Structure 1
Amino acid sequence: MGPVMRTPRQLAALFAVLMVLSTAAFVIGVTVEQNQGQTETAVEETHSDERSEAHEEGENHEGEPVESHSEESETIGGIDLESTPLIVLGAALSLALAGLVLRWPRREVFGAAALFCLGFALLDGREVAHQLDEQAATVAVLAALALALHLGAAAVAGLALARSRDDRAARAVA
């Protein structure tokens, strides 16, 4: 068996690595999704122009449903989750949290980190479902990777939190 992570510093380092990787997956996924959206918009505009030209030439398209794939922004509580400022804030908070855990590997910090990661994992899970519904496999895979990494980081933070409680109990008994 390999070495067991025992110290808060070792767990903090593992947590930080997982957070950096999850942040990278998140940012890459958002970038890919935005680029796909721009490509789809350009294609829709081209098709729209072709339909307009065909209509002007007298071609009849009655009875054909007009498809609209316009991307509605994802919102929760009226907040656009895909706005650039919110994406930058999420990435910055994730990296700041990784630094905070490295600097102060304490029980309270690990507890806050675990909650943050679980919250982000919920959003990642929602994004996986949304991307699968949209049949956007690449973005769904990146969202699933971010989900797995956030859950891993939450587990590491939870383990560090549990170990810090065990250490306190052992010191109290001694």
Structure 2
Amino acid sequence: MMNASAIPFFSAVAVFLVALTATAAHFYRRRPKSKSPYGNWESLLARFTSVDRESITLIALDLVDESGDPRHGGDDIILDPSCISPLIGGLDGLEVLKRNCAVLIDLAFYVQQWYPEALVVAEQLRMNAREIEWHIDRLRGAAKIGKLESVFPEYGQRVIATYYLMTRHVLELYEIGNFPGLADLQRAL
């Protein structure tokens, strides 16, 4: 037979277990349906806005080389600064690149599920995206005072070169990890 002093103890344990089970059931029902907060692979790629890759490459490689180092020397391609804005679509084209930067960051975080070292790349991409945002803000300010044409080549080309390098970093990340979807990513970028 149970001791009279043990009844309150077992009652408290029973109440605790019921509360614990109810809490676990509540959070189990509210868990996210997808594994990744960034969505699945198809939804990530669908968020990309199409851009003219050839123009981006042409403009970026006029400022930096394939590794991201500044170009030096006389035999480099020298792009006429007045061509940069029409090639990329002006400030609207840069806004598209800015939106695509968020997708690039999400792609790096998506890979992090299987490849934890992707965190370093994702953080670098986040800093690059912040730099792009800063340059675009400068261009918006210049547009407000009517000086966009004079500063677009400098800031616009930096935005494009940074975006170009971001795409290269994401592709390298997927190549290193040999992740499925690399071909789809190459087509999208």
TM-score by shorter chain over 0.5: no
TM-score band w.r.t. shorter chain: 0.3 to 0.5
What TM-score do you get using the length of structure 2 for normalisation? Answer: 0.39
Q: Larger RCO: Structure 1 or Structure 2 (Cα < 8 Å, ≥ 6 residues apart)?
A: 1
Higher Cα Rg: structure 1 or 2?
2
